[in-house]
With several copies, the nearest count.
Chain A
């Protein structure tokens, strides 16, 4: 499988649809331990990248990813905006360098995206943020790709890692992001950013399977 701009645009549509479908799962989480706007922020981002197909399709995958990053940066705001933008910039850099012609290439790009996001947010695993989903997903992707698994197997592995990562946020004390203000009281709730990442990852994996 190869990461082409057309696929990126399809992924944007799939993400947009998935976010809307999962509104009831995402929205209450940031209300419980954050400020209640995460769903709206992610939706604003998903909407805008889904509407960019016309300007993206003539571009190379790395250029398209960069354009998406810039658009997210100036559209989403909040914590999610720069973090997502960082993610797509990281991806773009690696795709430009390595191309995106194999599972491993795409996995490396995904990991590079997460890497850039970590740089921006100065976060790490275990802080009850989206990283608790993104990091395990990125490792799993790389390991499964190295083992030359099929797209379907990789999808299952990533989804399982994302699910587990999401679930792990439930018992964590938030130490980063707005929920950190709650201390112990944040225990018992899933993290909103982790949930939306899990939803988006699942949507893109399902799409990948359908395509090839």
Chain B
């Protein structure tokens, strides 16, 4: 494993310090427990807090700022943060209007956020994202995983909170977006968790991991490498099957997300293919995002997310945002 690292144990803190310095106009870092907040505390609004294991950067700290998150709690690489982090963050950013947690649906994240929510004396609610339709849903399991669609939920709910919506309404919007968003990822290589020092899984030059998660969890199927048209068609088909009637003649946001090591040149090539496929199905892409927004450390691969838009979601997607990783309208 070759990484820019001094000591694996300090990697997260050193990186967070660099993040704080590079964006000193935007964020403040708090250590022990670790959390980041906006540089200037917002007033009189629902506070939106997200968090999760590190290794998915810019998720979540890259989305702190006006129009999006008030705070983020980074865990160790691929490990949920702990309740004391969420509680400290909540106490720091609450304005009296309550706290909305946004967490990705993984057993660890769910339990840690849940405990924070239970112990916290500030009124709070949680939106769990579960856009990964590669994992078949079932009431007997932990259900679908949250992946890149989380960015859309954080952006729009952040905007809604900024506009003055109350806690319950913010949660309703978050749940709604999550319900009409579907994603699938595909990996060409494994990622390497720094503390483990070697790739999580082995994969040959002729194989791909279809339906991979954002933690190097193997996907649902090891498949044969093939041309981009064929790979993307399978992904788009599965997403549309999942969205079913909701996607009929819909206007959508298409997010092509790099998992870490895939060049922009390829992400735009994927966009080109996905756009054509969606259009053939009578679906209109009216918003787009292409880049590394929800990564799996250094994994080579990409995911596609389709979010069904309506006027409300569109408005909150378009509203001004000023964060390290998303910035427009300001």
Question: What is A's interface to B at a CB cutoff of 8 Å?
Answer: 27, 31-37, 39-41, 44, 73-83, 85, 120-121, 175-183, 185
Q: Is the CB of A178 within 8 A of B193?
A: no
Which of chain A's residues have a CB closer than 8 A to the CB of B326? none
Q: Which of A78, A180, A183 contacts B108 (CB 8 A)?
A: A78
8 contacts between A and B (CB under 8 A): A33-B217, A36-B215, A37-B196, A76-B79, A77-B82, A81-B111, A176-B141, A178-B217
- Determine the distance from Cα of A73 to Cα of B81 in the docked complex, in whole angstroms: 10
Beta-carbon contacts under 8 Å, B96-152 to A:
106-108, 111-112, 114-115, 132, 134-136, 138, 140-142, 145
Consensus secondary structure, chain B interface: loop
> When the two chains form their complex, are residues B195 and A73 in contact, meaning their CB atoms are under 8 A apart?
no
Q: Which one, B82, B83, B145, contacts A181 given CB within 8 A? A: B145
From known contacts A37-B78, A180-B135, infer whether A31 and B200 are also in contact, taking CB-CB under 8 Å: yes
A178 and B215 contact, CB distance less than 8 A: yes
For window 31-90 of B, CB contacts with A under 8 Å fall at: 33, 53, 75-85
Contact of B218 with A79 in the complex, beta carbons under 8 Å: no
Q: Which of B182-204 contact A (CB under 8 A)?
A: 193, 195-196, 200-201
A177 touching B142, Cβ below 8 Å: yes
Q: A83-B111, A181-B220 are in contact. Are A37 and B77 (CB under 8 A)?
A: yes
Question: What residues of chain A lie closer than 8 Å to B82, measured between beta carbons?
Answer: 73-77, 81
Whether A31 contacts B201 by the Cβ 8 Å rule is yes
Q: Is B218 touching A33 in the complex (CB atoms < 8 A)?
A: yes
A179 CA / B215 CA spacing, docked (Å): 11
User: Is there an interface contact between A185 and B218, defined as CB atoms closer than 8 Å?
Assistant: yes
Total chain B interface residues with beta-carbon distance under 8 A: 44
Does B216 sit within 8 A of A, measured CB to CB?
Answer: yes
Chain B residues with CB below 8 A from A76, complex form: 79, 82
Which B residues are in CB contact (< 8 Å) with A35?
78, 193, 200, 213, 215-217
B219 within 8 A of A: yes
Which chain B residues border A85 with CB–CB below 8 Å? Answer: 115
Q: Hey, which chain A residues are within 8 Å of B213, CB to CB?
A: 35, 178, 181
Please, how many angstroms separate the alpha-carbon atoms of A108 and B203 in the complex?
46
Partner of A182, one of B193, B195, B218: B218
Interfacial chain B residues near A78, Cβ < 8 Å: 53, 75-76, 78-80, 108
Cα of A83 to Cα of B108 in the assembled complex, Å: 9
Q: How far is the CA of A83 from the CA of B114 in the complex (A)?
A: 12
Q: List residues of chain A with CB within 8 A of the CB of B145.
A: 181
Docked complex Cα distance between A44 and B33 (Å): 15
Do A77 and B79 have beta carbons less than 8 Å apart? yes
A111 CA to B75 CA, complexed, in Å:
30
CB distance from B108 to the nearest CB of A (A): 4
B residues near A31, Cβ cutoff 8 Å: 196, 200-201
Query: Chain A residues near B219 (CB, 8 Å)?
Result: 181-182
Q: Specify which chain A residues have a CB less than 8 angstroms from the CB of B77 in the assembled complex.
A: 37
Minimum-distance CB pairs A-B, first 8: A35-B215, A79-B108, A82-B111, A78-B108, A78-B79, A36-B200, A74-B84, A77-B79
Q: Are A178 and B138 in contact (CB under 8 A)?
A: no
Contact, CB under 8 Å: A176 / B142: yes
Chain B contacts for A41, CB-based, 8 A: 76, 79
CB neighbours of B138 from chain A (8 A): 175
Q: In the complex, what residues of B have CB within 8 A of residue A182's CB?
A: 217-220
Task: Report B-chain residues with C-beta under 8 Å of the C-beta of A37.
Answer: 53, 76-79, 193, 195-196
Q: Are B142 and A36 in contact (CB under 8 A)?
A: no
Is B196 within 8 A of A27, CB to CB?
Answer: yes
**For B75, B82, B211, B222, which residue has the most chain A Cβ atoms within 10 angstroms?**
B82
B220 / chain A contacts, CB cutoff of 8 Å: 181-183, 185
* A residues near B75, Cβ cutoff 8 Å: 77-78
Q: How far is the CA of A83 from the CA of B141 in the complex (A)?
A: 17
CA distance A80 to B75 in the complex (A): 13
Chain A residues closer than 8 Å to B80, beta-carbon distance: 77-79, 81
CA distance A137 to B217 in the complex (A): 29
Per-residue contact bits, chain B 238-282, to A (CB 8 Å; 1 contact, 0 not): 000000000000000000000000000000000000000000000
Residues from chain B with a CB closer than 8 A to the CB of A33 are 217-218
